[in-house]
Amino acid sequence: MKIAVVGPGAMGCLISAYLKNKTKEEVWLYDKFPERAGHIRENSVKVETQNFAFQAKLNVTCDAKEIGICDLVMICVKSYSTEDACKDIKEMVGENTRVMTIQNGIGNVQVLNDYFGADKVIAGITNHGATLLGIGHVRHAGRGDTIIGKADGRLSGALKEISGIFNRCGFETKISKDIDSVIWSKLIINVGINALTAITRLNNGRLIEYEESRSLLRNAVQEAARIVKRKRIKLAYDYPIQKVESVCKGTAQNISSMLQDVLNKKRTEIDFINGAIVRQGKSLGIPTPVNEVLTNIVKTIETSYDRQAR
């Protein structure tokens, strides 16, 4: 299978390195910035884990035509860049290409559907943790499952083939007939953790050590859970607050992706996580005051990087 991974961030580097070193598939890494692409091409992708480190020498390019038509294109850019990525990768997508997202937040699947057609799109989430240490340099911060599926619930040979490839490279991957439920289940976890870590600059586990941050976490999750109930979405767990707190414990030392963005003074995905809950709440007539405050604080932080006190 010919696979292109779009976006050399933490997850893009992690996935492409494992695919390259653990399988026999043809793997490409696409980066829209020529200088960064050249750096990764020359120096390889470096992955650190708790027990070992390795490098992966990848085909890296900023020219989609150089890659050509692929069997699988994996979208690993930030959610706010999904539409731009769709425009960049048109030369990679042919009649039989599958385009897969494992991004954070909600809304990405619809963008891909609009550009490529729902028959080509595979949705998913991953619970692997990854921290970008530098250009093409990533720490594998924690393992978890990866779940993929089609929005219409249909099983296909492509899903089984992709799942098999990911399992062979060490990413335990399952297929779901209700991927919408899976995406919302992951979203609620991110709603409880990401914005609060970005604001407090605490690791995941620290959030539940302080009464005030734990209360905010619970209230944010409770608001999201009300929306899920109104939309009649079946979550992968019965007790959302307990689930989010257990994830905090299980990923205690992890630096969330949103906190990484804030520490690196980059744009966050707040509009696609807590901000998405606010928009959904407004459309359904459900108050979401905690998520609105969290969204507004993170947006203030990210738009005032050059004005913050030192």
265 vs 277: CA distance, rounded Å:
24
Q: Are residues 77 and 110 in the same domain?
A: yes
29 and 167 in a single domain? The answer is yes
Whether residues 13 and 128 share a domain: the answer is yes
User: Domain boundary residue among 177, 193, 217?
Assistant: 177
Amino acid at 105: G
* pLDDT of 167 higher than 80: yes
| Same domain, residue pair 56 and 158 | yes
CB atoms within 10 A of CB 151: 17
Question: In Å, what is the CA distance from 260 to each residue of 9, 16, 201, 269?
Answer: 11, 20, 9, 11
Same structural domain, 87 and 189: no
- pLDDT tens digit string along 104-133? 999 999 999 999 999 999 999 998 888 899
Residue with token string 């490098």: 55
* Residue 309 pLDDT > 80: no
The pLDDT mean for the chain works out to: 95
For range 33-51, the mean pLDDT: 95
Rg (CA), the chain: 19
155 has pLDDT over 90? no
Do 131 and 192 belong together in one domain? no
How high is the pLDDT of residue 254? 85
Domain count, the chain: 2
Do 14 and 78 belong together in one domain?
A: yes
- Length of the chain as a residue count: 310
Which residue among 177, 203, 232 closes a domain? 177
Q: What is the domain range of residue 253? A: 181-307
197 and 161 within one domain:
no
Mean pLDDT of 43-67: 95
Would you state the pLDDT for residue 286?
Answer: 98
CATH number at residue 278: 1.10.1040.10
Q: Are 155 and 196 members of one domain?
A: no
Please tell me the least confidently modeled range out of 9-23, 244-258, 292-306: 244-258
Q: For the segment 213-265, what is each residue's pLDDT rounded down to a tens digit?
A: 999 999 999 999 999 999 999 999 999 999 999 999 988 888 899 999 999 99
What pLDDT shows up at residue 256? Answer: 92
- Examine the fold and report which residue of 177, 196, 222 is the final residue of a domain before the chain moves on: 177
Q: Are residues 109 and 221 in the same domain?
A: no
Q: Same domain, yes or no, for 25 and 173? A: yes
Domain check: are 264 and 134 in the same one?
Answer: no
Stated pTM of the model: 0.92
- The distance in angstroms from the start CA to the end CA of the chain is 50
What CATH number did the domain enclosing 160 receive?
3.40.50.720
